[in-house]
Amino acid sequence: MKFHLVFFILLFINLTTEAADTSQAHQYFLIADSLSKANSFDKSNEYFEKACKIFTKKSYWKRVIDCNNHIGFNLTVFQDEVDRALEILKSNLKLSIQKLGNNNLRTAHTYHKIAIVFYLSGYYDVALANYKQSLNIRTNILGDKSIDVAKSLNNIGIVHEAKGAYDNALKNYFSALKIMRTKLGASHPAIAKIYNNIGVICWYKGEFTKSLEYHKQAVKFKIENYGPEHPRVAVSYNNLGLVYSDMGALDKAVDYYKKALEIDRATVGTNHPYVATDYNNLGSTLNLQGKWYEALKSYRLSLEIRLQTLNENHPVIASNYSNIGTIYARLHDWENALYHQNLGLNIVIAVFGKKHPTVGETYKPLEIILESSLNLRKH
């Protein structure tokens, strides 16, 4: 009797300790998630890692996989540590298949996260393959009318868009839109995202009137769901600015860029990547208006923010340097023009290698500047 009682007490203590440990891990997970939402990604990953250690010790594989997916996503999107992220996510995929099986939603989600890394790194075919793996699993488990399937279709559309396969992109966007409307209703904020994506494709194809229609619908739904002073509304204002700029309605474009800038500065802060994008877009249209000193100021403000928030060798910073170089060329300041174009070129070579097509595209402004400076000197 005493043996049974001791055994029961020890078993109870072990179960209680295990429950306490798991509870602590769940608390770490919730803290990490909150920190991610507050844009504190280093701290967020610290807590995801703490949670992951406990979940691994307790063989709670579903949560281990969740933690690793969050860590990989934060490293990729917000901390620009792509190689480390990919290593974590690939290892996580193997773990998910081993512990949960290939036909599992967490496995599908891990394929999804890996696809994001390859997409952001410019490896579009590999990204597409991983998104399709995720789509196949989700379709098999949830059917072809689920929200997760719609999300996969939307992401596949985004990759086709990046590849310039606009008809394939539209096909996937409209398929996602049909599911979203059925499941969520016509004015759900997720619908606004897809309208936005369709509007972008119409813009790429030169169908500006259609593009404006879709972007204005997106603005309408976003204001209804989030209010007029929200960063997502600012995204749509930026897109409207891009369309109006290409239509030659430069004053309207500037107005929309300034609206976006005002919202973003007030909501996400003055030192945020969104604000850098606003300044860059505004600078591009001011350049088209011939307001070169104002354009230069906007481009420099964009660069200043990006140098503080991104890796100094990030490709988008190369684009900033190129834009600044172009303005100096307009002002016939050839020394500064060449200096900034070379800064951009060096980043592109460091990131992509000398034989990447992007390097060839980056050489073109340099050639134009050199030729222009020589022609002017001849006169």
Identify whether 235 is part of a domain.
no
Instruction: Assign residue 133 a region (left: φ > 0; alpha: ψ between -120 and 50; beta: otherwise).
Output: alpha
- What is the structure's pLDDT at 239? 95
How confident is the model over 281-297, as pLDDT tens digits? Answer: 999 999 999 999 999 99
Residue 96 belongs to some domain of the structure: yes
Q: Name all contacts of 83-92 with Cβ < 8 Å and 24+ positions apart.
A: 85/117, 86/114, 86/117, 86/118, 89/113, 89/114, 89/117, 90/114, 92/65, 92/68
**Residue 351, pLDDT score:** 73
Same structural domain, 35 and 110:
yes
Q: What is the CATH number of the domain that holds 190?
A: 1.25.40
Within 8 A by CB and 6+ apart from 361, the residues are none
Position 351 in a domain: no
Q: Are residues 68 and 160 in the same domain?
A: no
The answer as to whether 224 is a domain residue is: no
Are 138 and 152 contained in the same domain?
no
Q: Are residues 23 and 100 in the same domain?
A: yes
Read off the CATH number of the domain in which 38 is found. 1.25.40.10
Could you give the CA distance from residue 373 to residue 155 in angstroms, rounded to a whole number?
44
Together in a domain, 122 and 46: yes
Look at residue 12 in the predicted model and tell me its pLDDT: 47
Segments forming the whole domain that contains residue 182 = 143-205
* 61 and 155 share one domain: no
Tell me the Cα Rg of the chain.
25
Domains of the chain: total: 2
Q: Are residues 96 and 123 located together in one domain of the fold?
A: yes
- If one counts every other C-beta atom within 10 angstroms of the C-beta of residue 258, the result is 14
Residue 289 burial (C-beta neighbours within 10 Å; 0-12, 13-18, 19+): middle
326 inside domain: no
- The residues of the chain scoring below 50 in pLDDT are 3, 5-17, 360, 363, 367, 369-379
Tokens 């964009």, residue located: 302
Q: Decide which of 205, 227, 242 is a domain's last residue.
A: 205
Q: Are residues 125 and 46 in the same domain?
A: yes
Kindly state whether residue 229 falls inside one of the protein's structural domains. Answer: no
Is residue 274 domain-resident?
no
Do residues 107 and 153 share a domain?
A: no
Q: Confirm whether 87 is domain-assigned.
A: yes
- Residues 89, 188, single domain; the answer is no
Q: What is the pLDDT at residue 11?
A: 46
243-254: per-residue pLDDT in tens?
A: 999 999 999 999
3-state helix, strand, coil in the chain (%, to 5): 85, 0, 15
Say how many C-beta atoms besides its own lie within 10 A of residue 166's C-beta: 16
119 shares a domain with 168: no
Which residues touch 121 (CB under 8 Å, ≥6 apart)?
82
Domain end (from 125, 142, 159): 142
| Same-domain check for residues 118 and 156 | no
d(CA 343, CA 290): 24
Choose the final residue of a domain: 153, 178, 205.
205
